[in-house]
Structure formats: structure tokens, C-alpha cells
Amino acid sequence: MTQLLETRGVGKTFGRVTALEQMDLVLSQGEVLGLVGQNGSGKSTLLKIIGGLVQPSSGEMLLHGKPVRLRSQSDATMHGIGMVHQEQSLVPNLTVAENIFLDKPNAAKAHGLYRWNRLFDAAAAQLRKIEIDIDPRATVEDLRFAQRQQVELAKVLAVEDLVSHPPIILFDEPTSVLTPDEIRLLFRQIERLRQTAAIVFVSHRLDEILHISDRAVVMTDGCKVADEPVTALDRESLYRLMVGRQRTIRAPRAVETRPAESLTPRLDVTGLSTGRQVRPATLAVAPGEILGLLGVQSSGAEEFCRALFGAEDDVHGTIRLNGKQISVTSPAAAVQAGIGYLPANRHVEGMLKGRTLVENMALTFGLDYGHRGMIVNRRAERRVASEWITRLRVKTRSADARIDDLSGGNQQKVVLGKWLLSRRLQLLLLDHPTRGLDPGARDDLFAVIRSEAAKGLSVIFIADTIGEVLDLSDRVIVMRDGAMSAEYNLNRGDAPSEEDLVRAMV
């Protein structure tokens, strides 16, 4: 195996935060490197340094044995380094072809003039290379999410043609937003590239790491703590290396503690449908119950939750909360009724950017801690928010830090804290709550949700993986094409196998 890239003692500090320390890493041709670590351990920072997006504070990088300084992403591209971001980095109002060549020179746009047909042809060739059928003339924002993800991939893989030597491709949590089919496609590309390129693959799903990588590197607090071939690892050992403690196995909750059969259900939905997706759906959730919703993309699970939260247009059907019919015309109305929603897209729908943790957490229910629920009491809000920050183990410098400065997993915990802060929350809808969370943080999160449920909070939960659903839920409902296709009550020992669930989903 030829060595392509080496980092020597690379470090990065942001103000007083050390994101990365003394990182020595070697990337070789023909190898997939799996990178794991807790939230905020510096994985993204490392990738961004290699990808030219961030300048290291110390250390050096060697490309083919020669030191390099990468000044920008396009600089890295010119050196054959491509990076797939978790958040898509396409320009929505440009065409597919332009996006593919955004960071690369091409004869079709030499001298600053566009020869559109040649550009489209070149893009079509790139798309063909990875067997994708997308019109290079299409505007990116007109594409479906999955198609956009494919364009993103095509854009990165086009660096292959740019350099004569093997390219380096970096993937930062690419799978957390993909469907099984898309993941399969991605892995096929990785398999194809494996021979000719060096690949770094970041994921919080240890199974994926074990499946696709040749070597796993574990990071903690900006340092490398392990670097081993995956053959020497299994899920448990990887988890231990990462989290530094034993994995908690789901303790099946005693059936009798569940008030599942109480007379009035917490939530009772009949004939709920949206203009877009959900066929009339009918279900009930008991107080303190955790209901898992499963379904492939466009199964309607997400629309169902958003409809319950008043965030969908054209919603029909009746919703009863604690037996009383409510009209959820807007998120505000839902909140009023005691329904909370943790969005899948926290950057846009969850966080108030540029605001502190306290401000974020106190936004919705802070007033409950005020005088007579009318007048704001900042001190009380701050105290409660701080309590939750501790309880959720948010890794932060201070409760007054800006939420933007937290790593993704910690941001998610803050957004969750906004809802848990409430004293009158009846129902919490969790839309892919573990997205981007490291396994340890996920366990923390599950523990908190379980304890809140034990106090009577009802939860509807759309999971990232089937494993999660089985881990957390009392009951699982599988959705397909906007309708419910199967139901399993886990507490009754009615545990389905993963195969059963997959069959019900597709």
C-alpha cells in the first residue's frame, strides 16, 4: 500500500477550545479508514483540515511525502482531496453540472465563459461514471433530497479525474441522512474507490464502521486513542474505546409499570391525513408510553409527527389529547396544547443560531418559571436551564455560550432541553433525535427520555435505526406509504425480528 497523506502533530484550537491535538495519521491507497469518537472529539475538525476548510494551528501535512498547505476547499480539490459533507454543500439555484464543477476547472468554462453544452456533457460523464441518472441541466433545488446527495457524491468523486495520483475522499457522517438504498449505493461507490483511493469514513453507527472500513481510528477529546484493524474489533470493544465505559443494555421495563391500558389515552388520533403524504391514520398513545414509528423514507412517519405538531399544510382528522379534542393549526397551537417536537433538521428548525444555550432552552417554556406565567424571570430560567445542561451532559464552556460553538451532538441535547424544561409537556415527538449523536450520548439521551416517560410523558419516536427503536420503545408501529402496516407491543414480549420489521416497511 502506498502512503498518500500523512498528518504530523496536527492540532487546532478555536479560541480557548482545543478541538484537535497532536494528530498523527497516515492515509494509504486502497484503504478505508473508519473514524469514530464521541461528539466534539474532533473528527469533523480533522476532516476539515485535510479538506482545506480549516487551517491547522500546529503541525504539518505531507502529501506524497511533500509538505503541503491547503488554503481552501478548491485548493484541496486541486490536490485530489474531496470531502462529502453531512449537510449538503450544493448551491441550490445552480444546475447540477455547475455544482459538480463548482470547485474545479473545466475546459467548458475556460476564460470565464460558459459553453453550456460541453459543461453538461462533462457533467453527464461524471454522473454516468457512478451510475446515476440525473439530468445535469436540472436546477439542484428541483431535485429530491436523495438526488441531491448523489450529486454531492458525483461532485466529490469528480476529483478522481483531476489528478494523476490516487485521490483522497473524506466522508463526514454521510449515512445519517440516507435511506438504506442510498447507503447501499454509497457503499458500492466506496467499494469501487477502495482500490484506487484513500478513504476516510466517519460514522456514529459502529456497524457501518465495522462493515466498510479496513482500519478504525478512535478519537477522544481531540486525541487519537486507538488505531487498529477492524478485524481486531467488535461492537462492544469499539464502544468501550469510544465511550470509555460499558454499553448499557436495554433493561426491559416491567410490564406492570406501564400504565398502557389506562382509560383515556394521552393521544388519540383518528383519520389524520395531510395533503401530501399521510393516508388517514388512526392511533392512540398512553400516558408514559414510548411509541416507536418505523418506516422508510416517504413512509409518512415524519409527516405524521409534523402534522401532529401543526407543521404540515392541509391537515385533516381529529386529534384528542387526554380525551379533549384539540385543533393543531400551527406549531404554536401544538405547544399550547402541550406537544413538543424535536426536529430532524436541527440547524434550521431546532436552534436559534447566535443565541446562548439559556436563550435557546428558555424560548418556549421559560415563561412557566416566571411570575404568574406572564412575567419573565431570567434568574429562574437560567437555573432550570443549567440543571438540564448538567443532566443532559451537554459539553459546554458555560450556559451562556453560543449554541453555534457546540458540536452537533451537544446542540441536539440543548434543543431537546428546550422541551424537557417544560412542566406541562404532555407529548414529545422525537424526529430522528439521535442523528449525529455518538453512541454514548445516545445512551444518555435514551436514559433521560425513559426517566421522563416514567414520570408520565408520552413520546413518539422516529428512529435512525431499527436497533434504536427496539432499544427505546414500548410499542412499535411500522408505516408504509402513509399508512400503518404493522404493530408490535415490545413490553408484551411481542418482539419482532429486524427481518419482520424490514418486511413490514417495504
Partner 1 sequence: MSQSQPADDRTIQAKPGFAERRAALRRSVPLAVLILLVGLSAIIAPGTLSPAALNGFISDAAPLMILVIGSTIPILTGSIDLSVAGIASITGVMLVVLAPIFGPWTCIVVILLAILFGAFQGWLHAWLQIPSFITTLGTLSMLSGLSLLLSNATAQPLPDSDPIINLLGDTSFDIPNTGFAALALVAVLAVVMRYTRIGRDLFALGAGERAALMSGVRTVRLRSFAFAASAGCAALAGLALVSVTQFSSPTLAGNLLLLSIVGVVLGGTAISGGVGGLWAGVIGGLITAWLRVATVLIGVKPTGQYIVFGIMALIAVFLTTDRTKIGIIK
Partner 2 sequence: MKLISATVAVRSAREPDGGVAQHLRRWLQSLGPLAVLIVLLLVFEIARHNFLTGGNLAAIAESAAVPVILTTGLSFVILLGAIDLSMEGVMAASSMTLSLLCANDVNGNHWGVWGIAAAIGVGLAFGLVNGVLNTILRMPSLIVTLGTWFIGLGIASILFPAQVPTVRDPWVLGIAAYHIAGLSLIVFVALLLLLLFHLLLHYTHLGRMIFAVGGAEATLVMTGLPVPLFKIAAFVISGLLAGIAGVLLSARLGDGNANIGDGLLFPAVSACVLGGTLLSGGRGGVLQSAIGAVVLEVLNNGLIQIGAGPYVRNIISGAVILLVVAASGLHLRRKLRVVK
Region 423-452 residues binding ligand ATP, contact defined as CB under 6 A: 436, 438
Distances (CA, A) of 463 to 129, 249, 286: 33, 17, 19
Strands 281-285 and 483-489: unpaired
Site mask for ligand ATP (CB under 6 A), range 162-191, x = bound: -----------x------------------
**Stretch of residues binding ligand ATP (CB under 6 A), selected from 76-84, 157-165, 403-411, 455-463:** 403-411
Nearest-approach distance from CB 51 to partner 2, in angstroms: 10
Binding partner of 93, given partner 2, ligand ATP, partner 1, none, CB within 5-8 angstroms per partner class: partner 2
The answer to whether 452 and 340 are in contact (CB under 8 A) is no
Considering the rule CB under 8 A, would residue 287 count as an interface residue with partner 2?
no
Distance CA 216, CA 201 (A): 9
Distance CA 25, CA 22 (A): 10
SS3 84: strand
Site mask for ligand ATP (CB under 6 A), range 198-227, x = bound: ------------------------------
Binding partner of 409, given partner 2, partner 1, ligand ATP, none, CB within 5-8 angstroms per partner class: ligand ATP
Nearest-approach distance from CB 191 to partner 2, in angstroms: 11
Q: Is 38 left (phi over 0), alpha (psi -120 to 50) or beta?
A: beta
Strands 475-480 and 483-489: antiparallel
Q: Which of residues 370-429 bind Mg ion (CB under 5 A)?
A: 408
Phi, psi (5° rounding) for residue 392? -85, 0
Q: Which of residues 420-459 bind partner 2 (CB under 8 A)?
A: 431-432, 435
Nearest-approach distance from CB 439 to partner 2, in angstroms: 15
**Which of 143, 170, 384, 477 forms a contact with partner 2 (CB under 8 A)?**
143
- Per-residue DSSP letter, 30: T
Residue 157: how many other CB atoms lie within 10 Å:
22
Binding-residue total with partner 2 (CB under 8 A): 72
Which spans of this chain sit near partner 1 (rule: CB under 8 A)?
Answer: 15-16, 245-246, 248, 309, 311, 330-332, 334-336, 341, 343, 348-355, 359, 362-364, 366-367, 374-376, 386, 389-390, 393-402, 418, 443-444, 447
Binding partner of 257, given ligand ATP, Mg ion, partner 1, none, CB within 5-8 angstroms per partner class: none
Judged by beta carbon, residue 126 or residue 411, the one nearer Mg ion is 411
Considering the rule CB under 8 A, would residue 234 count as an interface residue with partner 2?
no
Nearest-approach distance from CB 304 to partner 2, in angstroms: 11
Q: Which residue is nearest to Mg ion (CB)?
A: 44
Nearest-approach distance from CB 4 to partner 1, in angstroms: 34
Nearest-approach distance from CB 3 to ligand ATP, in angstroms: 24
**Which of 205, 215, 258, 480 forms a contact with partner 2 (CB under 8 A)?**
205
Nearest-approach distance from CB 237 to ligand ATP, in angstroms: 19
Distance CA 319, CA 263 (A): 17
Contacts of 120 (CB under 8 A, 6+ apart): 95, 97, 136, 137
Q: Which of residues 436-465 bind Mg ion (CB under 5 A)?
A: 436
The answer to whether 23 and 59 are in contact (CB under 8 A) is yes
**Which of 44, 126, 411, 458 forms a contact with Mg ion (CB under 5 A)?**
44
Cell of 150: 448523489
Site mask for partner 2 (CB under 8 A), range 34-53, x = bound: ------------------xx
**Stretch of residues binding ligand ATP (CB under 6 A), selected from 21-29, 33-41, 125-133, 362-370:** 33-41
Considering the rule CB under 8 A, would residue 356 count as an interface residue with partner 2?
no
Distance CA 328, CA 313 (A): 11
Look-up of cell digits 409537556: 425
Judged by beta carbon, residue 43 or residue 475, the one nearer ligand ATP is 43
Look-up of cell digits 468523486: 157
Distance CA 304, CA 306 (A): 5
**Which of 144, 245, 316, 424 forms a contact with partner 2 (CB under 8 A)?**
144
**Which of 270, 465, 485, 489 forms a contact with partner 2 (CB under 8 A)?**
465
Residue 323: how many other CB atoms lie within 10 Å:
10
Nearest-approach distance from CB 14 to partner 1, in angstroms: 11
Distance CA 406, CA 399 (A): 11
Kindly report the three-state secondary structure assignment for every residue of 312-351. Answer: CCCCEEEEEECCEEECCCCHHHHHHHCEEEECCCHHHHHC
Considering the rule CB under 6 A, would residue 145 count as an interface residue with ligand ATP?
no
The answer to whether 185 and 193 are in contact (CB under 8 A) is no
Residue type, 308: L
Nearest-approach distance from CB 352 to partner 1, in angstroms: 4
Binding-residue total with ligand ATP (CB under 6 A): 21
SS3 70: coil
Nearest-approach distance from CB 378 to ligand ATP, in angstroms: 25
Provide the strand spans (E) within 204-330. 215-220, 223-229, 267-273, 281-285, 290-294, 316-321, 324-326
Residue type, 415: V
Distance CA 476, CA 501 (A): 9
Q: Which residues sit at the interface with Mg ion, rule CB under 5 A?
A: 44, 408, 436
Point out which residues bind ligand ATP (CB under 6 A): 14, 17, 19, 37, 39-45, 86, 173, 404-409, 436, 438
